Structure 1
Amino acid sequence: MSDDPHSAADNPAADDFDFVSAGPGVELAVQRAGTGPTVLLLGGLGMPSLTWNISGLPAALADTGFEVISYNARGQKPSSAPPAPYAMTDLADDAAAILDHHGARDVILVGYSMGCYTAQLLLRRRPDLVRAMVLFAGLQPTPMGALVDEMELALIERLGEVPRDVLVFEQLMTSLSPAMLQDPATVRGWHAVMSSGDGGWAAPEGFKGQLMASHEWITAAEPTPEHLAAIDVPTLVLAFEHDLFFPPALCEATARSIPGAEFVRIDGAGHGGVFTAPGDSTARIVDFCRTHRPD
C-alpha cells in the first residue's frame, strides 16, 4: 500500500538532506524549512518527503512562521534500510529521535496515511514532545488495507518482491478519484508518473519492513477505543471523500472517540489526494497549526 507517486530520480540527492542517527544502522534523511515552532510531517508508506511539497503544505507552514521538519523514513533512500521486520514502535522512535536531535518540543504532528499510526504511537510513547496532532487520510483503516498488505507480503514471500506493475496498478486504483479514473488522459498521465523509477526504496528490505509495520498496526485492531479516548491533545482529523483505505464515514465515527477532535471531509479525492487533489486541506492544516501554535 505505497503512497509514493514519484520515481527515485525525482527524489532530492543525499546532499539535500541532513542525517540523524536513530540507532545502530539507522540513519534518517531529514529536511527542514522555516523558523519558529516545529511541525513534524510524518509520511505514508513509501512516501518521500518531497511528496509533501506537491500539496504546498511545507511552504505554507514556513510562510506562517513555523519550522517544518520532514524526512524519509527508514527503508527509503537516502535513509538507511535495516533488515526487516520493522514495527510501528520503531517508526515512532525514529521520529522521536529526529525531534530530540533538534531539541524540538511542543511539536505539532501532521501524519498522512501510515504516518497517522506513527503520530499516535509517538504521542503514546513520548507525550512530552507533542502539542497537537493532525491525522490526515489515515485514522481508521478498513479491511481493504489488511487485504492489500497480505497480498503484497505473500508476493514478496513467493517472488522476492512485489512486481512494479502490480504496485502501479494498485496505486492508480486507490490514489485517484472515480472521476480521474474515468478520464483516459488523466489515467495515462498518472500511470507514466507512477511507473517511472524504482519506487525510491533504499533496499527491498525497506519496503518489506514498512509493509510489515503497517500490517502489524491494522491486525492489532488499532486504533483501539481505549487508545483513542486517551488522546489528550487537540486533534484534527481529515479524510478524503473517495478514500478506499480510510473512508470518511469510518474516520468521522472514529474521530468521535477522540476527546474534542475536529473532523473534516475533503471532497473530490481518493487516498492519494495529498498529491492529486489536496483541495483546501493545506489551508485547514495551516489554520489548525496557527490556532494551536505554542506561546
Structure 2
Amino acid sequence: MARNRAVPAIVREAQRVVFDELGRSGSRVVVLAHNLLAHRGSFAAVAARLAPRARVVNVDLRGHGDSRGTTRAFSTADLAADLAAVLDTLAARDAIVVGTSLGAAAAVELTRQRPELVGALVLIAANPHAASARDRLTFGALATILRTLGPGPVLTSILAGLHAPDAAADVRGATTAHLQAMDRRDMARAVNAWVSRPALLPELAGLRLPARVVVGGADSPALAAAGRVLADALGAPLRTIAAAGHTVQAERPAEAAAIVEELLATTGP
C-alpha cells in the first residue's frame, strides 16, 4: 500500500483511492462514503460544515470520481478494505463513518472487518437486504447498458433514483456531469458491486456502537421501511430528512451534517 504525497490518495492492490482531508488535525475523525454512481463532491458541503469540529476524510469509492480506472470487478468488501487502508494510512481510529447506500454497505462491512477503526455509524438511505431476483435482473440490465452505451440512454432514470424531483438544479447538474465523465467499465462494475452486496442485518448482529439511521423523505417508500428495520436492529434513532431524495448529503447538507455533529457531541473524547 502506498500513498501519493502530491494528491491525497492511497494505492491498494493497484487501485488508486482518492480522498480529501480537511478540518481539525488531532480531533475526532469523520469518514464520508458516498452512494452508487455518486462521488465525494456530493459530500463537499457536509465536509465543509464539519471541518471546524472534526478531521474529515471524504473518499471517492473505487470506480467513482477520481478513484477511476478499475481493472477488475469489486465488491463492498473491497470498498471496506479501501476505507480501512485510508484510515490506516492516516493512523486514524474510532472514526465516525458516514455512508450513503453503497457507502453504508461498505461502512457496515468495514465495522465487521476492522471494528477498532469504527466508533460510530451514520447509515443514510441504506438497504439492509441483499438484492432480490428482480433487482439482480434490473441492475444486471443497467450494468450492461452502462458498459456498452454509457449513461446517455438511462440518464433520466438514474437521476430520478438519485435525487428528489425538486432537487436543486446545481445539484442535479453536478450529478449529470459526474455521470457523463465516468468510465463505462467503472460504472458497470460499481453497479455489479451494489447488486452483489450482502444483507446488512447479519453483519449488524452483535454490533453495539452509537449509530444514526437516516432516510430521505422523498426517497422510495421501501427505503423508508428499510430504515426502520435498520434502526431497530442497531437500537438507533431513525431520522427522516423531509424532501430529500436518495443522495441526502447533496440535497440537504445542513441537516445531514447536524446529525453527524450530534454524534460528535455525544461520543468519543
Q: Shorter-chain TM-score: what band?
A: 0.7 to 0.9
Q: Give 1:152 shift.
A: 0.7
Report what 1:268 is aligned to.
Answer: 243
Q: Give 1:124 shift.
A: 0.3
Report what 1:61 is aligned to.
Answer: 50
For the structure 1 residues 111 and 198, does the alpha-carbon distance in structure 2 shift closer, same or farther, using more than 3 Å as the test? closer
Q: Give 1:210 shift.
A: 1.4
Asked if 1:126 corresponds to 2:114, the answer is yes
Q: Give the CA RMSD over aligned residues.
A: 2.7
Among 233, 251, 256, the alignment partner of 1:281 is: 256
Report what 1:11 is aligned to.
Answer: none
Write the deviation string for residues 227-271 of structure 1: whole angstroms up to 9, x where unpaired.
22222211110011121286212211332012x312111112221
Q: Give 1:16 shift.
A: 8.1
Report what 2:212 is aligned to.
Answer: 236
Distance 1:194 1:18 in 2: 22
For the structure 1 residues 289 and 149, does the alpha-carbon distance in structure 2 shift closer, same or farther, using more than 3 Å as the test? farther
Q: Give 1:172 shift.
A: 3.1
Asked if 1:117 corresponds to 2:105, the answer is yes
**TM-score normalized by structure 2?**
0.85
Asked if 1:172 corresponds to 2:159, the answer is yes
* Structure 1: gaps of 5 or more residues: 1-13
For the structure 1 residues 155 and 98, does the alpha-carbon distance in structure 2 shift closer, same or farther, using more than 3 Å as the test? same
Say whether the 8 Å CA contact 2:163–2:172 is kept in structure 1: no
Write the deviation string for residues 130-156 of structure 1: whole angstroms up to 9, x where unpaired.
111100112436858655422312325
* Structure 2: gaps of 5 or more residues: none
Among 248, 269, 276, the alignment partner of 2:224 is: 248
Write the deviation string for residues 86-136 of structure 1: whole angstroms up to 9, x where unpaired.
111111100000000110011110101210000000000001111111001
How many corresponding residue pairs? 262
Distance 2:185 2:137 in 1: 20
Among 173, 185, 200, the alignment partner of 1:205 is: 185
Distance 1:163 1:59 in 2: 30
Aligned pairs for 1:1-295 (under 5 A) are 17-23=7-13, 25-35=14-24, 36-53=27-44, 56-64=45-53, 66-140=54-128, 146=136, 148-156=138-146, 160-166=148-154, 168-178=155-165, 180=166, 193-196=174-177, 199-201=180-182, 203-217=183-197, 220=198, 222-224=199-201, 226-244=202-220, 247-258=223-234, 260-278=235-253, 280-292=255-267, 294-295=268-269
Say whether the 8 Å CA contact 1:239–1:266 is kept in structure 2: yes
Q: Give 1:194 shift.
A: 4.5
**TM-score normalized by structure 1?**
0.78
Distance 1:251 1:193 in 2: 27
Say whether the 8 Å CA contact 1:46–1:200 is kept in structure 2: no
Say whether the 8 Å CA contact 1:16–1:31 is kept in structure 2: no
Say whether the 8 Å CA contact 1:266–1:279 is kept in structure 2: no
For the structure 1 residues 251 and 124, does the alpha-carbon distance in structure 2 shift closer, same or farther, using more than 3 Å as the test? same
Q: 1:257 is paired with a residue of what secondary structure?
A: helix
Q: 1:134 is paired with a residue of what secondary structure?
A: strand
Give identity over the alignment, percent: 23
Q: 1:265 is paired with a residue of what secondary structure?
A: strand
Say whether the 8 Å CA contact 1:139–1:237 is kept in structure 2: no
